[in-house]
Amino acid sequence: MTHQFDTLAIHAGTAPDPATGARQVPIYQTTAYVFRDADHAAKLFNLQEVGYIYSRLTNPTISALANRVCALEGGAGAICCSSGHAAQIMALFPLMAPGRNVVASTRLYGGTIQQFSNTIRKFGWSAKFVDFDDPKAIEAAIDGDTRAIFCETICNPGGAISDLDAIARVADMAGLPLIVDNTTATPYLCRPIEHGATLVVHSATKYLTGNGTVTGGIVVDSGKFNWSASDKFPSLSAPEPAYHGMVFHPTLGGMAFTFHSIAIGLRDLGMTMNPQGAHYTLMGIETLSLRMQRHVENAKMVAEWLEKDPRVEKVTYPGLASNPYHALARKITPNGAGALFTVAVKGGYEACVKLVDSVKLFSHVANLGDTRSLIIHPASTTHRQLSEDAQVAAGAAANVIRLSIGIEDVRDIIADLDQALTAATQ
């Protein structure tokens, strides 16, 4: 039986515990698992049988979460890991090698731009940043060493919407996988695989958990990419020396990426999610639909109020009819344009600093996607490491604050912004 999204958010990937009948997924706080016999152990290590070996690789609580998010995204398999940043490395790991590059959007979270600009260079990888509003610019940036294309569905911090269908066409023509960070949209607002994405990554820290208790990441594989169509992805299409010469794609088909990421990625990089964190995220996802509806409803009302306020220069919420991404948002995120956007405040940098120091209901934190309304000044925090030009390109100029609108009563949210704006612009 095929279930609808709201039902999957509660039931997918889980069943009553076979040992106790527990209806909620138990926290399997164990390091290792007893094999039935030597033959059973050998089959598990040869990937001939699915099961549990060691919790750095797989764990029943974590597997339940992977299966649930996979179902919500419409994927073939999924891998949970320790953070959203870990998920990005896990997504790239089977695809890249020294000298290879990824073509990435300029409109990414500042930490991702940092990770792609500097940290991945330690692996011999590199990134080319281009304006993803221009498919021809993406196409022009691709060269013989490009191994992936990377963007966000709803870009952090500015809320720009990526035209996933157009970007996927460029990726398909180049024979490359499209990796989409769907953190700020969640599968409730957008399912990137339906728009041509090969891999979807999430920071489970944000809306999926929704309560600010977990650090986690998830990679969902569409299972649709032909890793053997070229010689660009030898870790998947050729004998893999890191796993006794197994050829993952011909052997495992649509599950090749998932099993490679578990058997080698988690084994060797060790970026494993903890079972308790997976449990919290499973509970959070049960209310994902309800929360996202309220997030979107509140964000639209707050954005409309701010757009009319004379103390504000600009609001970037794509749910506004005046926003250049409004029509695209209706196509890519038909259930709403999310709850993350930026506000340009009159008075520049100093006014923004006063504003974040004056809020009372909003929490000034380096996070988003919480049930609580959150605020931050990206230019002095999350995007501080970028140049001024890079900050502007990322939508994090000095006069900009980022809002993550929560699910409180919208009247209280607006009242708090009103008094803070007064204090910041007097």
Q: Does position 110 have pLDDT exceeding 90, yes or no?
A: no
Q: Would you state the pLDDT for residue 381?
A: 79
Q: Is the pLDDT of residue 138 over 80?
A: yes
How do 126-130 and 217-221 pair as beta strands? unpaired
- For CA atoms 14, 19, 22, 26, the dihedral sign is negative
Q: To the nearest whole number, what is the mean pLDDT of the chain?
A: 95
Q: Is residue 5 part of a domain?
A: no
294 and 279, same structural domain? no
Rounded distance, CA 192 to CA 167, Å? 11
The alpha carbon of 184 is separated from its chain's Cα centroid by a whole number of angstroms, namely: 7
Among 257, 284, 311, which residue terminates a domain? 284
Q: Measured between alpha carbons, how far is 105 from 121 in angstroms, rounded to an integer?
A: 17
CA distance linking residue 65 with residue 197, whole number of Å: 21
385 inside domain = yes
Is the pLDDT score of 341 beyond 70? yes
pTM: 0.95
User: Percent of the chain beyond pLDDT 70?
Assistant: 99
What beta strand segments (E) does 164-319 contain?
178-181, 199-203, 217-221, 312-315
For residue range 296-322, list pLDDT tens digits in order: 999 999 999 999 999 999 999 999 999
- The model's confidence at residue 130, banded by pLDDT at 50, 70 and 90, is very high
Is residue 21 located within the same domain as residue 111?
Answer: yes
Instruction: Summarize the confidence of residues 276-290 as an average pLDDT.
Output: 97
Confirm whether 344 is domain-assigned: yes
User: Same structural domain for residues 187 and 102?
Assistant: yes
Kindly tell me if the per-residue pLDDT of 379 is higher than 90. no
How far is C-alpha 339 from the chain's CA centre?
A: 15
Average pLDDT of the residues in 243-268: 96
340 and 390 assigned to the same domain: yes
In this structure, the answer to whether residues 233 and 252 fall within a common structural domain is: yes
- CATH number of the domain within which 231 lies: 3.40.640.10
d(CA 341, CA 345): 13
Q: Which of 284, 302, 322 is the last residue before a domain boundary?
A: 284
Residue 380: pLDDT band with limits 50, 70, 90: confident
89: confidence class by pLDDT, cuts 50, 70, 90: very high
Confidence at residue 408, expressed as pLDDT on a 0 to 100 scale: 98
Is 161 inside a domain boundary?
Answer: yes
Nearest CA to 155 out of 393, 408, 335, 411 is that of 393
Residue range 103-116: mean pLDDT, rounded? 93
Whether 6 is in a domain gets the answer no
Asked if residue 4 belongs to a domain, the reply is no
Task: Indicate if 168 and 306 belong to the same structural domain.
Answer: no
Please check whether residues 134 and 259 belong to one and the same domain.
Answer: yes
Per-residue pLDDT, 10: 93
Same domain, 220 and 307: no
**In the chain, how many domains are there?**
2
Q: Is 18 helix (H, G, I), strand (E, B) or coil?
A: coil
The residue segments making up the domain with residue 183 are 12-284
**Residue 321 belongs to a domain with what CATH number?**
3.90.1150.10
- In-domain check, residue 2: no
Distance CA(299)–CA(405), nearest Å, equals 6
**pLDDT value at 140 more than 80:** yes
Do 301 and 218 sit in the same domain of this protein?
no
Task: Report the residue count for the chain.
Answer: 426
Q: Is the pLDDT of residue 6 over 90?
A: yes
- What pLDDT band is residue 1 in, cutting at 50, 70 and 90? low
Q: Are residues 224 and 308 in the same domain?
A: no
User: 50 and 171 share a domain?
Assistant: yes
> What are the start-end ranges of the E strands in 84-228?
101-105, 126-130, 146-152, 178-181, 199-203, 217-221
Predicted local distance difference test score (pLDDT) of residue 396: 77
- Residues 209-249: pLDDT tens digits? 999 999 999 999 999 999 999 999 999 999 999 999 999 99
Q: Which residue, of 284, 313, 343, is where some domain finishes?
A: 284
First to last CA, the chain: 60
CB 47 within 8 A of CB 12: no
User: In the predicted model, what is the mean pLDDT of residues 271-284?
Assistant: 97
Check residue 331 and give its pLDDT.
97
Same domain, 249 and 108: yes
Question: Residue 207 above 80 pLDDT?
Answer: yes
* Res 395 pLDDT > 80: no
**266 assigned to some structural domain:** yes
Q: Are 113 and 152 in contact (CB under 8 A)?
A: no
